[in-house]
Amino acid sequence: MDTITLWQLAALAAASTLVGFSKTAVSGANTISLAVFAAVLPARESTGVLLPILIAGDLLAVHVYRRHAHWPTLLRLFPAVAVGVVAGTLFMVWADDAAVRISIGAILLFMTGVTLWRRRIAENGIGTENGIGTENGIGTENGIGTENGIGTESGSGTENGSETGSGAETGTGSGGEAASAASGRTAARGYGVLGGFTTMVANAGGPVMSLYLLSAGFRKLGFLGTSAWFFLIVNVSKVPFSVSLGLIDARSLLLDACLLLFVLPGAYLGRACVDRINQKVFDRIVIGATVVGGLQLLLF
C-alpha cells in the first residue's frame, strides 16, 4: 500500500462512491466495492481500509432511515454476531494475505449463490412489492409485514414493527408458538454467527443478514432502517479488532481521508435514485461483476 497509481486511486474512489450509493439505495453494489478494494490493495489490508468507508456510509444510511429500525430483531442478533466476529478475528490472526484473498473471493462467490437463491424465492412470491435495496441488491415482489418491521402475511401488524405476524416468529397455538420461537432463535444464532464471521473477514456480512431479514418478513423502510443500524453498530464494534490486527493504521487512515470525500455524493445519488432504479437490470450487473471479482481473487 506504499505506492498507489492514479488509476488505482481512481478505482478506489469509484468503489467508495459505490459504497455510499449502496447504503442508501441498492446495497448489492457493496460486493463490487469489496472486490475492487481487494484487487487494488493487498487483500488483508483492504479490509482495514474499507471499514471506515463503510462506517461513513452506515452513518449516512442511519441519518436517512434512523426511525425505522426494529430493535428486538437487532438485540436478538447481536450475541451471535459477536461470536462470529471473534471467530473471524481469530482467523485473521492466522491468515496471511493469500489466505485472506482466497477467502474474500470464496465468500463473494458464496454470497452470489445466496443472492441467486433469494431471487428464486422472490420469484415464488416472498418478499416486498417495491424491490428492497438489500445488502445483496435483490428486491422481491409481494409485500409481507408492516412498514417498519414484522407483520402478518396480509400486511397487518403494528407501525413500529411489533413481533406479530410472520411465520418465522410466531405460530398457532401454544405448541406452535414454542416451536416457532425456538426456530426463530436458532435462525438468529446461525445467521448471526455466519454474518459476524463474514463481515470480520471480508466486510461481506450483508447478504447473510439480508437473507435473515427477508425471511422475517420486513418491508422496505423497516428493512433499510434495521440494516442501517445493524451495520453501523457491528462495523464500529469491529474497529478495535482491526486496529489490534494491524489492519487499520496511520497509512490506511490517510488513504481513507482521501476516499471518504467520495462516499457522500454516492449516498446522495442513491437516495435520489432509490425509487427509479430498474432493479432487475442492476441486479444482473452486480451479480456479474461480483462473480468476475470473486474469480479474479481466487485465480490470479
The cell for 43 is 487483500
Prediction pTM value: 0.74
Q: What is the pLDDT of residues 136-195, one digit of tens each?
A: 444 443 333 444 444 433 343 444 443 434 433 444 445 556 655 666 678 788 889 988
The cell for 132 is 428492497
Q: Structural domain boundaries of the chain?
A: 6-299
Band the pLDDT of 2: cuts 50, 70, 90.
Answer: low
Q: What is the pLDDT of residues 247-267, one digit of tens each?
A: 999 999 999 999 999 999 999
The pLDDT assigned to 216 comes to 75
Q: What is the pLDDT of residues 62-87, one digit of tens each?
A: 998 888 899 999 999 999 999 999 99
Give per-residue burial for 215-225: e unless 16+ CB within 10 Å, then b.
bbbbbbbbbbb
Band the pLDDT of 209: cuts 50, 70, 90.
Answer: confident
Share the mean pLDDT of the chain: 78
Q: What is the pLDDT of residues 213-235, one digit of tens each?
A: 776 777 767 877 898 999 999 99
User: Is the model's pLDDT at 243 over the cut of 80?
Assistant: yes
